[in-house]
Structure 1
């Protein structure tokens, strides 16, 4: 082993000496001769790539199309999920409540008239409640157990118009959407602040005029196909708190925490229908 080691060292030393002699040989490049490395001229070509940003939707044109809707019919499907807590004295009871609201309606912006039929289904027991509303000249009539009742609150019709899918589109198309998707159907997404949804949430979550309603995570989606509004979606989280003093049930505190998720589908546009005020 020692012999192979000495031989290896000797070869290594010979290589090192040869290298040193080569670097110090005093050889020069003949005058007038340019080495191939020097003759090589490298040209750096810079290529500029232009990236075009896809053109966004023309919101003004979409709004113009929506504003041309004079009448429309629609269907909607809303799911309302709530955790309800009732406190009375030293006792409290908590329950999960899920309601499915199926709705179909007709709205006429020329005559400010509408009819809306809805069925509310309680899950999982399947109990159903039907309700009809008619709006004529911005006056709302509600069908109850005792017949048709004229709503005293003049703001009832405002809720109908403002929070319809067309009303929402008219209100928000003047603003820049939070995001845009286009996979055959154009989807515009808007994040809605609390105060703009509270009037609508109050209709479904307020148990009295004293109820305090808070809304979070408001989100509106508007769907367009070939430039025409075809539907949308409205969702938000909500909480409410009410102190009740009932002559029969006594004093209690009702707290609700839940969500609203509704999808809309427009089924016809600018087809005039007759709407008459019911007998009250």
Structure 2
């Protein structure tokens, strides 16, 4: 029973989703085609010669660029690369008849991400490791012009997963920051930049938690304590943190093990580092 519970949850996490979002240079179907777009910098301008009897004097003026507000900077992000390091702690209880067993499961989910919001292109490679029993797996996902492909043992497979698409495009760190940055934060500090802390709405939490905490589509899912933390330096988002608690209860009819009830309680905590913005990468169909 212990082995079944651990393998079941790990396979669900690794095989179905494979982590939040990630990209890597290992994929043969990608190549960089443009350099980073850098916001406008200081410039100089010449003024007309002064009206004096002496030789004309050339003067220059320098305009210091203003630091954009977080909202202004976010609105100008069209492509983003980032890495994330997620720790997922789960207590998994499997109930079958009069028998019940609870196991603790800790997962480390490491990702690299590239998202092109304009072209709806993405590269997603994720490594999920079980720190409890050593199980690990890597998944690869490409999105090309909105079409999604996942890599299997037999090659690339085109898939149609609206829930996954919504998670990729609406619940990445940039999209979440855009959604919350104009709201009133529960905490604001200016040490070493600007830190904004928000409570995540339950509706958004459910969308984020369903992939990791629901063993079946009909699972009863509850979420709480959602926190979004954003850290800006000179108006630019440098890193963020997403955390929340979740629990679920699902009835599973397994052809080998029979009818079971699976109860999960756990916590998700991830740190996301923005490594590049507005550098376009060509993403081709596999």
| TM-score normalised according to structure 1 size | 0.75
Q: Which protein shows a greater Rg?
A: 1
Higher relative contact order (CA 8 A, sep 6+): 2
Are 1:234 and 2:250 an aligned pair? no
> In the alignment, what sits opposite 1:61?
69
Distance 1:137 1:76 in 2: 24
CA deviation map 1:144-181 (0-9, x unaligned): 33332322222321110111110111111121111101
Distance 1:157 1:139 in 2: 9
> In the alignment, what sits opposite 1:106?
114
Matches within 5 A, 1:1-280: 61-278=69-286
Distance 1:114 1:265 in 2: 17
Which segment drifts farther, 215-224 or 185-194? 185-194
Q: Cα offset for 1:193?
A: 2.6
CA deviation map 1:235-274 (0-9, x unaligned): 0000001001122221000000000000000111111101
> Contact 1:139/1:157 (CA < 8 Å) preserved in 2?
no
Any gaps of 5 or more consecutive residues in structure 1?
Answer: 1-59
Any gaps of 5 or more consecutive residues in structure 2?
Answer: 1-67
Q: Cα offset for 1:185?
A: 2.5
Q: Cα offset for 1:212?
A: 1.3
CA deviation map 1:15-71 (0-9, x unaligned): xxxxxxxxxxxxxxxxxxxxxxxxxxxxxxxxxxxxxxxxxxxxx931121010111
| TM-score normalised according to structure 2 size | 0.74
Cα gap change, 1:206/1:147 in structure 2, threshold over 3 Å: closer, same or farther?
farther
Distance 2:227 2:115 in 1: 23
> In the alignment, what sits opposite 1:48?
none
Kindly tell me the number of residue pairs found equivalent between the two proteins.
221
Give 3-state SS (helix, strand or coil) of 1:261's partner: strand
- After superposing on structure 2, the runs of 4+ consecutive aligned residues of structure 1 that deviate more than 6 Å are none
Q: RMSD of aligned C-alpha atoms?
A: 1.7
> Contact 1:242/1:253 (CA < 8 Å) preserved in 2?
yes
